[in-house]
Amino acid sequence: MSRKFDIIIVGAGASGLTAAIQAARKGAEVLILEHMDKAGKKILATGNGKCNFTNEKQGIAYYNGKNPAFVLPVLEQFGLHETLQFFEELGIYPRNKRDGYYYPASGQASSILQVLLMECRRLHVRIAYHVGIRQIQKEAEGFSFYTKQGVFYSKFCILATGGKTAKKTGSDGSGNQYIVNFGHKLTDIVPALVQMQGKQSFLTEIAGIRAQGSIQLYIEHEKIAEDIGELQLTEFGISGIPAFQVSRHASYGLLYGKQVRAALNFLPEFSNEEVNTLLKQRFLVNGSGKNAAQALIGLFPQKLNNVLLKEAQLSPEKLAQNCTQKEIHALAQRIQTLWVDIIGTKGFENAQVTAGGVDTQEINPRTMESLLVPGLYFAGEVVDIDGLCGGYNLQWAWSSGFTAGNAAASAKNISD
């Protein structure tokens, strides 16, 4: 294999493969260095193996980081329309299944990876596997990559090394050292889109329950985030998409030693007054011959009913018709505000994405080029941008990868 290339990309994930394809389409000779035995392992795990690869809803509201607006110039170059067109040309027929979520019609994440790799082969992009990089050094004419397999050289470098989530897929944070060595700052890195661990003992009593509801996350008594959908209650805490959506904020709160609490609402579509009216109807009007536990049957799963009564300090054996207005009000409050003290998350290994990364103040948002090191570019999860559930993290990977690959190849053509 030749040791000199126009562009060397570190990382054969979603952003790295996209960067390679775009750079090669513009005539650049591209090599991808990958420390795993295969490319795109994390792609295969997305969307429970079905690969929710983008979403028709786009904008700052769906992305996080110190500066979420950083995504806008990138999405302007390669957004939803360009992504759908890109994959359709590669052979993916997109299906919009629900709430704007796009999946490949095959229902298989492997289809996305296969078409990316086929295009890399067609464009003669080289991918070297099992490459352990010891050092990347900036030279007058480009970059030198010192590896266990020898030294490689390139005019331009794109770091697409991913975050720290899912180590078994290769996303283990090993690329961060290269970034720091180039003089770049990393914002604090925490797990995002991850299950949260709770303190309350009642969690073991409601483990296994799935219930529609909302979650509001409070840090030091200030509401920071909220979401609605199917909550999954476990023996350790809270899971499900709504919990994932707010978890990055919990991770940061815990990192900084702050109090983090979640308020669960199992009737978010009702006002407080409407919940009180509903309970009065079930207890005082239709509760003849029933106790408090029986009056709740059919409203929530039985295990949840028991916990709600206990937290409202209302005996499940008390006759429904004998419950006081105060007791019914207390139960209504617990139904709409069941507090869970968050004491941790399930960590990077269980998280879907990493929050934090290369400080976007040090990157040109129109090219993804470093503002500190000419010829150095970034793409994907390694940057301080993370998206919500729903295809946003892959959209960021495609968009930032395209932008970096396009800019690096354009710079190469100018220098030639």
- State CA 197 to chain mean position distance: 18
Q: Is pLDDT of 180 > 80? A: yes
The pLDDT of residue 222 = 97
pLDDT value, residue 275: 98
Tokens 């909302």: give the residue: 214
The whole-number pLDDT of residue 45 equals: 87
Q: How confident is the model at residue 98 (pLDDT cuts 50, 70, 90)?
A: confident
pLDDT confidence of residue 169: 79
Mean pLDDT over the full length of the chain = 96
pLDDT of 115 > 90? The answer is yes
Q: Is residue 286 over pLDDT 70?
A: yes
**pLDDT tens-place string over residues 128-155:** 999 999 999 999 999 999 998 899 999 9
Cα(244)–Cα(194) distance, integer angstroms: 5
- Name which of 209, 211, 217, 207 is nearest 339 in CA terms: 217
pLDDT of residue 330: 98
> What is the three-state SS of the chain?
CCCEEEEEEECCCHHHHHHHHHHHHCCCCEEEECCCCCCCHHHHHHHHHCCCCEECCCCHHHEECCCHHHHHHHHHHCCHHHHHHHHHHHCCCEEEEECCEEEECCCCHHHHHHHHHHHHHHCCCEEECCCCEEEEEEECCEEEEEECCEEEEEEEEEECCCCCCCHHHCCCCCCHHHHHHCCCCECCCEEECCCEEECCHHHHCCCCCEEEEEEEEEECCEEEEEEEEEEEECCCEEECHHHHHHHHHHHHHHHCCCCEEEEEECCCCCCHHHHHHHHHHHHHHCCCCCEHHHHCECCECHHHHHHHHHHCCCCCCCEHHHCCHHHHHHHHHHHHCEEEEEEEECCCCCCCEEECCECHHHECCCCCEECCCCCEEECHHHECCEECCCCHHHHHHHHHHHHHHHHHHHHHHHHC
User: pTM (2 decimals)?
Assistant: 0.95
Q: Indicate the pLDDT class of residue 413, thresholds 50, 70 and 90.
A: confident
| Residue 412: pLDDT over 80 | no
Which phi and psi angles does 111 have, rounded to 5°?
A: -65, -40
Predicted pLDDT of residue 216? 98
Write out the two tokens for 174.
Answer: 């090993």
The average pLDDT across 169-195 equals 93
CA terminus-to-terminus distance, the chain: 23
The pLDDT value given to residue 47 = 81
Tokens of residue 37, six digits: 């035995």
Is residue 94 very low, low, confident or very high in pLDDT (cuts 50, 70, 90)?
very high
Q: What is the pLDDT of residues 294-326, one digit of tens each?
A: 999 999 999 999 999 999 999 999 999 999 999
pLDDT at site 168: 80
Instruction: State the Cα–Cα distance between residues 128 and 286, nearest whole angstrom.
Output: 71
pLDDT one-digit tens code per residue, 16-45: 999 999 999 999 999 999 999 999 999 998
How high is the pLDDT of residue 2? 63
| CB atoms closer than 10 angstroms to residue 296 | 24
CA-closest candidate to residue 253, choices 350, 163, 165, 345: 345
Q: Torsions phi, psi of 209, nearest 5?
A: -80, 135
Spatial separation of the C-alpha atoms in residues 223 and 170, rounded to whole Å:
35
Token representation of residue 377: 């570019």
pLDDT digits (tens, 9 = 90+) for 223-250: 999 999 999 999 999 999 999 999 999 9
In this predicted model, which residue has the larger pLDDT, 291 or 169?
A: 291
